[in-house]
Structure 1
């Protein structure tokens, strides 16, 4: 890997202002587990310095409310409560890196498959939930501001395609995103949560960019959701999208052509900036830790690696393709590569028990796919 030659072409539209971002949410928990990072000379070094030296100017950090069980054990996946994330942000600030705070408004992963209400908010009325969102957002932003973090962007919800905070589609019944966004009752509740989150950000700093994040770029879906946001008077600046070219290939969703169409939709119809909140490509199809790979050697029409080669060159090619398309639009801001530093705490899939022990004590496990 070290001696493998990688060809990097110039991206004509790339500027110093473009977001060259990475999501490093697991970083502090990896350090807590004893993982070390090194520069290109083989010297132990701060990951943030290594990233800054390579041109990274933004990091994305997910925020969970209370990622612990009743007995105080972390759920795993990085232990991204506010205290943990502050440590990451403070280190990043030493090297002039901006921060994107990714509020999940949940105690653990929030994505199209699950949007679970935080434990502390269960049983609250709709009015109280709105206040919960506002208070948690405000309190968190104040803590980061007091710590000297340069917060350039705030994401109000994570991949909210199928809803947020327990107001979701009925996936068991086969409902699509329409089960929330075209359902008046659920949609109005989601809109109120988002408006409360947005107001909290604006009240803290009117210049911070606010992002609404949905996934798997598809024009009808994105148009329906953005239309609902517009009708609901949700105040935001950026349409954020996940973009993984190894997923949904047969549906032609995670493709450069669809990405271009979504960027145009955001600008021309809704007047919004556009950024890719998550992207990645596979380094290897082999398993290197205790968890299964998301994309393995067995592939199909929905998950495959046909678009780029597997390995470092393919990773470079995927990013070049993404940026060449994204930055050709007036509203294109840039992208965040998802968790490139999330490496196994203990190398080798045979060491699964040690990985699990680290998860329980430190809130981190090996990544599901080589980043």
Structure 2
């Protein structure tokens, strides 16, 4: 009897508690918040982006939006995302006008007004210059190395003076873009004549300094993980009397090898600083736009590594054309298909 009564009492108590709970307010599920924190870097560290396509994109009706979907001017948007520097390419006489001197100046003025530091990237071509293409401007096509050296210097001075007239003093200038085998081929091809390539670098360096002694001059080659390439290039330039203030690198890993290449890149950076007593900057990076989370991991890691270089000799990291969504088939941007920045760019956050 006691056992039956005991069971009855327990059942009654359960029923009372159950009915009581039905009338109470349910406990809300905990809100999921992001725990991501952007890397902390030196105050002078350049968190940059090359957005040279911006005026051409705008002319085609492309618009840019912040993460809430509010339309913004791209320069102001990049500033709000934590960027403090803008890189702009310069072509000599492009057939469509984009990235010529007038377009360069217009973008540089916007960058300055947004409170950004500015890097000018001279391609010394009418079109793209990169490891596989270093085509002379059409107007320079018949020139020998002596004429090319003089003309390169004159052109560089003219662009620098035009910028100066418009109130722009670049913080950095690249004399050539991804010059893995020199520039202004064939005369300036490094594997055929390092002396010729060095002469072009010396001319560009002197031209920049003649207008602005404070502007730092960069020599830029790609594959920042390739120490053999970098030693060959900068040993050769040094042996031929060339000068530079900063060594510039590109780094474009895949979603599967970025960790390995980042580690190799840091090893190479430290070797460059030790071997040539000059600082290093990564002036181009990018990763698959469809892998935003992986891209953020990659960027967080490479920014942290560059910032870790001793004595402040890792100067910064620049993302190449992050805003180029749905544009000319480019797939290494960092905006989504609706024109908003992805979480990849959180790595540049304040």
Same fold (TM over 0.5): yes
Q: CA RMSD in A?
A: 2.3
Q: Taking structure 1 as reference, are residues 238 and 7 closer, same or farther at Cα in structure 2, changes over 3 Å only?
A: farther
| Distance (Å, rounded) in 2 between the aligned partners of 1:130 and 1:247 | 41
Q: TM-score, normalised by structure 1?
A: 0.76
The offset of 1:319, in angstroms, is: 0.8
The offset of 1:45, in angstroms, is: 1.8
Answer yes or no: is the 8 Å Cα contact 1:7–1:313 preserved in 2: no
Answer yes or no: is the 8 Å Cα contact 1:20–1:55 preserved in 2: yes
- In structure 2, list runs of 5 or more residues that go unmatched: 1-31, 335-350
| Distance (Å, rounded) in 2 between the aligned partners of 1:132 and 1:253 | 42
Q: Taking structure 1 as reference, are residues 253 and 137 closer, same or farther at Cα in structure 2, changes over 3 Å only?
A: farther
Aligned mate of 1:32, from 59, 71, 75: 59
Q: Is the deviation greater in 85-94 or in 160-169?
A: 160-169
- The aligned counterpart of 2:279 is 273
> Which is helix-richer, 1 or 2?
2
- DSSP-derived class of the 1:336 partner: strand
The offset of 1:368, in angstroms, is: 4.5
- DSSP-derived class of the 1:151 partner: coil
Q: Taking structure 1 as reference, are residues 19 and 44 closer, same or farther at Cα in structure 2, changes over 3 Å only?
A: same
Determine which structure has more spread, i.e. the larger CA radius of gyration. 2
Answer yes or no: is the 8 Å Cα contact 2:248–2:280 preserved in 1: yes
- The aligned counterpart of 2:201 is 194
Answer yes or no: is the 8 Å Cα contact 1:106–1:116 preserved in 2: yes
- In structure 1, list runs of 5 or more residues that go unmatched: 69-73, 170-179, 285-309, 346-364
- The aligned counterpart of 1:82 is 101
| Distance (Å, rounded) in 1 between the aligned partners of 2:165 and 2:332 | 36
Task: Report how many residues are paired.
Answer: 300
Q: TM-score, normalised by structure 2?
A: 0.80
Question: Per-residue CA shift, 1:157-185, capped at 9, x if unaligned?
Answer: 0000022001379xxxxxxxxxx5454xx
- DSSP-derived class of the 2:118 partner: strand
Answer yes or no: is the 8 Å Cα contact 1:244–1:254 preserved in 2: no
- The aligned counterpart of 1:294 is none
Task: Flag the structure with more relative contact order, 1 or 2, with Cα contacts below 8 A and sequence separation at least 6.
Answer: 1
- The aligned counterpart of 2:289 is 283
- The aligned counterpart of 1:20 is 47
- DSSP-derived class of the 2:180 partner: helix
Q: Taking structure 1 as reference, are residues 119 and 133 closer, same or farther at Cα in structure 2, changes over 3 Å only?
A: same
